[in-house]
Amino acid sequence: MNLIFKNATIIDKNSKFNNQAVDIKVENGVITKIGKDIAEEANFDIIQLDNLHISRGWFDSSVNFGEPGYEDRETIKNGLNVAARSGFTDVALQPNANPVIDNQADVSFVLSKARNAATSLHPIGALTKGSEGLDIAELYDMQNAGAVAFGDYNKDLADANLLKIALQYVQDFDGLVIAYAQDSKIKGKGVVHEGIVSTRLGLKGIPALAEELQIARNLFLLEYTGGKMHIPTVSTEKSVQLIREAKAKGLNVTCSVSVHHLVLTDEVLKDFDTRYKVTPPLRPDAIRKALIDGVLDGTIDIITSDHNPLDIEQKKMEFDLAKNGTVGLETAFGALMNVLPADVIIEKLTGGKKIFKVEDHAIEENAKASFTLFTTKGNHTFTKANILSKSKNSAFLGQELKGKAYGIYNNGKLIINE
């Protein structure tokens, strides 16, 4: 497939073409020319889109697709199509399946399901067998099979010694440990952030301390062992400060924040709508603003959709009983454009590749063509008809989004929304 992308504004702070509108010529999956007014040729398709912007391919560090075991929620094939149409060239797949992805064969299986897709899939292996927090899983074998990191999705590791051993063990092969932070004993039976809203609604609260105490413990362990730790979906001001201080001390720690924690607050819970039941829970506006500050000052390295499809049987029930999670790939960029500048969004949607050792490709001549196509203009209200996922549990239904992803060019394939 030979293509010429016309009048595309490149957003890439490391490119000499940053913020310039140029044409991009792609031959057999390679960028062969970048410049003004590239002449049209007989064997090339011309791609012209309104207010076209192009950046390095976006990477999502936390998605769930259900397969194997929960194909009713989502399949790998459709999930990767959703990711492509949402602007993501690469996604890291959580091990939250049935069975849990905790061995070499499971990693090979999900990779086989993703073969020939436009969006590249990068499996995260479970840190413990069955994600039960009792025994270390087959980390080295999984990395050899293609796993990019190890963590138990949305499960805290109560056994501090087990995390210590894992951090020490993975250093032999430069592995990355993902340490979800929520003390289950302090969380108790809480379902929302402990504060004014939980009191008003009569819902059991989760103290911010449940996250912060676990992060403090995990950072102490990291300081003792060395190695690399990634803390996913941080959600409190104190959490950000703890990580900021750890980075200043030279610890090899990174972290992410979810789109919904940057955009929404716990005020949306007023109608007990379970679409807003997520983990960590949504917080008050002052904390939301502190998280944005953490993004802007570089403490927070990655923004993730934390995409988690759940079918209606798991969401349409009493608030206390409903499962945590929201789909988020389709809305990630448009929601973020309401709270952050475009260049910051692109930086946080691409910077995670280095952390997870995912191949990254510059937008320059003779480089592999792997990029996201999007526009920063136009507002639209997100409706159920806009959801591409099999499950419809979006926390952004009815929200006004700004700009949108057109699609991607990756792995020699062009995917553009109709």
Residues carrying an active site annotation? 306
Beta-bridge partners for 410: 413
Q: How many Cβ atoms are within 10 Å of 101's Cβ, its own excluded?
A: 25
**Which residues neighbour 21 within 8 Å (Cβ) at sequence distance 6 or greater?**
7, 8, 9
Structure tokens at 159: 């056994």
Residues 165-204 as b or e (16 or more Cβ within 10 Å = b): ebbebbeeeebbbbbbbbbeebbeebbbbbbebbeebebe
- 3 state DSSP class of 307: strand
* Of 335, 286, 285, residue with least CA distance to 306: 335
405, 74 contact by CB (below 8 A)? no
Tell me the CA distances in angstroms from 118 to 79, 121, 198, 409, one per residue in order.
Answer: 11, 9, 43, 7
* Of 278, 277, 333, residue with least CA distance to 304: 333
Give the span between the Cα atoms of 32 and 364, in whole angstroms: 8
Helices (H), 188-340: 196-201, 209-225, 237-248, 259-263, 285-296, 312-315, 332-336
Give the span between the Cα atoms of 241 and 73, in whole angstroms: 36
Fill in the amino acid letter for 390: K
Structure tokens at 6: 């016309």
243, 215 contact by CB (below 8 A)? yes
Structure tokens at 195: 């504060």
